[in-house]
Amino acid sequence: MALTDSVQQKINTWLTGNYDEASKTEIRRLQESGDDDALSDAFYRDLEFGTGGLRGIMGTGSNRMNRYTLGMATQGLCNYLLQSFPGQEVKVAIAHDSRLNSRLFAETAAGIFSANGITVYLFEALRPTPELSFAIRHLGCQSGCVVTASHNPKEYNGYKVYWNDGAQVVAPHDKNIIREVTAIQSVDEVKFDADQSKIHLVGAEIDAAYLAEVKKLSINPAAIQRQHDLKIVYTPLHGTGITLVPKALEQLGFDNIHIVEAQATPDGNFPTVKSPNPEEKVAMQMALDQAQQLDADLIIATDPDADRVGIGVKNTAGEWVLVNGNQTAALLTHYLVSARAQAGQLNKEKDYIVYTIVTSNVLGDVARHYGIRSYQTLTGFKYIAGIIRDLEAKNEGHHYIGGGEESYGYMIGSFIRDKDAVSACCLIAEMAAVAKDQGRTLYEEMVQMYRTYGLYKEDLISLTKHGQRGAEEIQEMMAQLRQNPPTSLGGSPVVQLLDYQQQVARDLRTGQQTPLEHERSNVLQFLTEDGSTVSARPSGTEPKIKFYFSLKQPNFGAQESFEQAQQQLDGRIKQIIQEMQLV
């Protein structure tokens, strides 16, 4: 691929501008080797500062995650903060995960904030992302950021930005920050010279305050006391979870925790896994092996920044199985609501849950069963936090119990405003202890839950499209689906198309259109006559397009095998995938 004029111009800017010699040497190496594809991919665009911040492959170039792209983003954020809070002491909190360069990037951001006269609370070492959300509120900050690329492969890093309520930025701040970041035309505009007097290291005091809030979430401490020796295998997958998850579990009363030692040390190379993603069985294999050897009760795994959690349980045959994100979200929601009801703590007028449009509808069924409210949002915990914020503004005493999304993220209680694997680990363990106290396993609890509400089966396909052409392919796929929606899926007619980009719901039988109240987002949902839902959504943080499948078998009776019923729904999902030509 020949270099375009715009790419060559950016390369020249880096070679002649105020960039370090190592970056210039790397550019010259690629030039000398004739690797135009690598140069084009590194410079064909500026790494986009989206509504959640930055995320990209680390390296040299305008389309890479490095101190310069991070620096320009931070300077734009500084400019917006100083405009938004004139005459005030502006304060920010900064955390980072275990990834390569995460500490360097966190310290770089701290230096830029301080050089702009902003007070910085920088965690002394790596910490979970949810603790950053907590720290913003605890320390009275106007903003904050965390350096992480979540569960991406080791080549990636990122930078997420939060506002003063501890949630990731939303409108109008997201677009306004993007405008300020885009206005930074040169690295020379970035104030890199730190004012150390403005940078304060934090750690233990925030840990203690955060863990105290986590402990308050417990609903059934008596069951934990009776089942304190519940055998838990935990792996942090070389990430930040090791700093708080064991402490949090011990604080609740669990004293039989077995850590996967080979994955206990934070390491951005993630030496034991290809991708540190608790959604993937291969990442969980060491924990599965250890649980098998120990005859454990529960497996828990957290991703590198400890905001997502995966779990494993034993089925009725004593075999270890992994519980997916929808199932865990449903189990947690059912436990939180039912346990509060049993304890006489449920307030039907004020309590509510929140979940996203691509998460299992069993969460809504649970809420209806217990007579409390439920809300659905676009994908992302900033929208869940937005519901909490809006209801708090009404000052009517509404109480958020919990919520989540299918991608293994859960938020219990409102003291943080982002997904939180630390508190989720604690409530999952409590849920397992309560089940064991009653002579059941979590697997049996899950089967009984589906017998109560109907069997839901969800699946997800992610198609990765790399580089400039990949981004174009994703746009083309969405345009084609929008213009020519499928007429039937899995043998059932498609009756409705929900287009969140155009904010309309279209009845495909009559052509009638009704408005959607959600914020604009590039998501399509196809609803079939038999109640199935297929959703298409380009990822906002990765070069992927995701397809979500949700099917329901309403009459899942006591005589029918859970495994057989799941297999039947799996077959229908495979049929839909083939019909949509996704494989």
Spatial distance between the Cα atoms of 234 and 299, rounded to a whole number of angstroms? 6
474 phi, psi to nearest 5 deg:
-65, -45
Provide the 10 A C-beta neighbour count for residue 174. Answer: 19
Spatial distance between the Cα atoms of 73 and 93, rounded to a whole number of angstroms? 16
Strands 232-235, 257-259: parallel, antiparallel or unpaired by DSSP?
A: parallel
Strands 320-323, 309-314: parallel, antiparallel or unpaired by DSSP?
A: antiparallel
CB 357 within 8 A of CB 523: yes
Helix 467-483 crosses helix 36-43 at what angle (to 10 degrees)?
60
Q: Is 532 helix (H, G, I), strand (E, B) or coil?
A: coil
Q: Which residues touch 271 (CB under 8 Å, ≥6 apart)? A: 238
Closest C-alpha among 416, 404, 338, 410 to residue 376: 404
Give me the catalytic one of 114, 143, 150, 521: 150
Spatial distance between the Cα atoms of 374 and 383, rounded to a whole number of angstroms? 14
Q: Which residues touch 413 (CB under 8 Å, ≥6 apart)? A: 213, 216, 217, 400, 401, 402, 423
In three-state form (DSSP H/G/I as H, E/B as E, the rest C), the secondary structure along 112-165 is HHHHCCCEEEEECCCCCHHHHHHHHHHCCCCEEEEECCCCCCCCEEEEEEEECC
The structure tokens 């007619």 sit at: 493
Q: Is 259 helix (H, G, I), strand (E, B) or coil?
A: strand
The distance in angstroms from the start CA to the end CA of the chain is 28
CB 282 within 8 A of CB 217: no
Q: Which residues touch 158 (CB under 8 Å, ≥6 apart)? A: 53, 54, 55, 56, 65, 147, 148, 149, 150, 152, 541
Helix 204-216 crosses helix 129-138 at what angle (to 10 degrees)?
100
> Is-catalytic flag, 150?
yes
C-alpha 193, offset from chain centre: 33
C-alpha distances (whole Å) from 457 to each of 311, 405, 461, 483 are 17, 15, 14, 28
Spatial distance between the Cα atoms of 446 and 459, rounded to a whole number of angstroms? 17
459 phi, psi to nearest 5 deg:
-150, 165
Which residues are annotated as catalytic? Answer: 150
